Amino acid sequence: MQPSPERISQIAALQDAKAAARKAAQPDSQNEEEAAAAQLIQKNYRGYRERRQLAGMGLDPSTRWVEKVRLPVPRLSTRMIKH
């Protein structure tokens, strides 16, 4: 025995509503995962930044340039002497 066309429409509408509810609930869990991942990345970066600052190094590009100029590069500061 086949269901009537009206019953088929009702079943289809019910299935569509359930699918929409599942789809609506899914991004929330994804957003929560993304938020947790963002917090972890930020936490790690803040720790990295703090460790660099404690070591006397900065993250500012101008500070990095000063550090690079201050630290001699052995291969450029020594020359081979030919006899």
**Residues near 78 by Cβ (< 8 Å), separated by ≥ 6?**
none
Within the chain, what is the greatest distance between any pair of CA atoms?
A: 105
Structure pTM?
0.41
How far is the C-alpha of 52 from the C-alpha of 57, rounded, in Å?
5
Q: What is the DSSP letter of 72?
A: P
The per-residue pLDDT for range 14-60, each reduced to its tens digit, is 999 999 988 877 767 778 889 999 999 999 999 998 898 888 776 67
Instruction: Give the number of residues written for the chain.
Output: 83
Q: How far are the Cα atoms of 3, 16, 60, 82 from residue 10, in angstroms, in the given order?
A: 10, 10, 63, 93
Q: Domain residue spans in the chain?
A: 31-78
